Amino acid sequence: MNKIALITGATSGIGKAIALKLAKESYDIIITGRRKERLEELKVELTKANNIRVLILNFDIRIYNEVEKSFSNLPKEWQDIDVLVNNAGLAVGLNPIHQGVIDDWERMIDTNIKGLLYMTRLVSPGMADRKNGHIINICSIAGKDVYANGNVYCATKHAVDALSKGIRIDLLPYGIKVTQICPGAVETEFSLVRFKGDDNRAKEVYKGFTPLYANDIAEAVYYAVSQPKHIDIQDVLIMPTAQADGSTFHKEG
């Protein structure tokens, strides 16, 4: 029987790449996100290429009732989730704190912190009962460092850093692994979302250097989940070679 991996935010970028990688490695996959059409397209892609099962859960991770409803309706054969990848997340806006947009702040806090908590609260009891499971939190360099105008986004990722450590301690008696992966700049739809659809501004972010690609992070996730039982890869910081920290880049041209 295949292991089951649930990946939040699989409609794009890092989450989609993780779904593709784990499907290739014969995991049955639960994909989640708000954009249903993209989930359906991905399901076709995943099942065409691999002999696995795929389940779609379509919810807004900020709305607990929606998330909980999906879980209470989970078919029995999908309930024993082996790997939970808390990936769904976003940055919205890049303003100094005194010009911050309250709605942007709420979106980041509700998605990046509360969404991760909701998922963990719903999936971890089964893992604890079975004394088996692996939680992967996609954090960021922004969870280790702070950069100008990144204020609230960085705070949400620092919260993820604290939660990864706290979850690891609480679930230690159950043999559940917790891995945190902290990428630097990855070229995905992240900047398009941050700049609210301004494609030119988004493209500017990745000019003059080679960023990471979503698949680079998927490879790290697979490395973590393929370790033997006695090894937990706790925390991985992955940066483009041209990025030293949260705000120092070597750009050419």
Nearest approach in angstroms of CB 202 to ligand NDP is 10
140 binds ligand 8X3 (CB under 6 A): yes
**Site track for ligand 8X3 across 160-189, x = CB under 6 A:** ------------------------xx----
Measured from the CB atom, the residue of 128 and 146 that comes closer to ligand 8X3 is: 146
Of 85, 142, 181, 212, which lies in the binding site for ligand 8X3, with binding defined by CB under 6 A? 142
Chain mean position to CA 91? 13
Nearest approach in angstroms of CB 252 to ligand 8X3 is 19
Measured from the CB atom, the residue of 83 and 138 that comes closer to ligand NDP is: 138
Nearest approach in angstroms of CB 148 to ligand 8X3 is 11
Q: Is 27 one of the annotated active-site residues of the chain? A: no
In SS3 terms, the chain reads as CCCEEEECCCCCHHHHHHHHHHHHCCCEEEEEECCHHHHHHHHHHHHHHCCCCEEEEECCCCCHHHHHHHHHCCCHHHCCCCEEEECCCCCCCCCCHHHCCHHHHHHHHHHHHHHHHHHHHHHHHHHHHHCCCEEEEECCHHHCCCCCCCHHHHHHHHHHHHHHHHHHHHHHHHCCEEEEEEECCEECCHHHHHCCCCHHHHHHHCCCCCCEEHHHHHHHHHHHHCCCCCCCCCEEEECCCCECCCCCECCCC
Q: Which stretch binds ligand 8X3 (CB under 6 A): 29-37, 39-47, 67-75, 134-142?
A: 134-142
88 binds ligand 8X3 (CB under 6 A): no
Residues within window 54-73 making contact with ligand 8X3, judged by CB under 6 A: none
Nearest approach in angstroms of CB 122 to ligand NDP is 14
Q: Which of 27, 118, 147, 153 is catalytic?
A: 153
Nearest residue to 239 via CA among 94, 139, 125: 139
Residues at the site binding ligand NDP, with contacts judged by CB under 6 A: 9-15, 33-35, 60-62, 87-90, 111, 138, 140, 183, 185-186, 188-190, 193
Q: Which stretch binds ligand 8X3 (CB under 6 A): 8-16, 22-30, 136-144, 225-233?
A: 136-144
> Catalytic residue numbers?
153
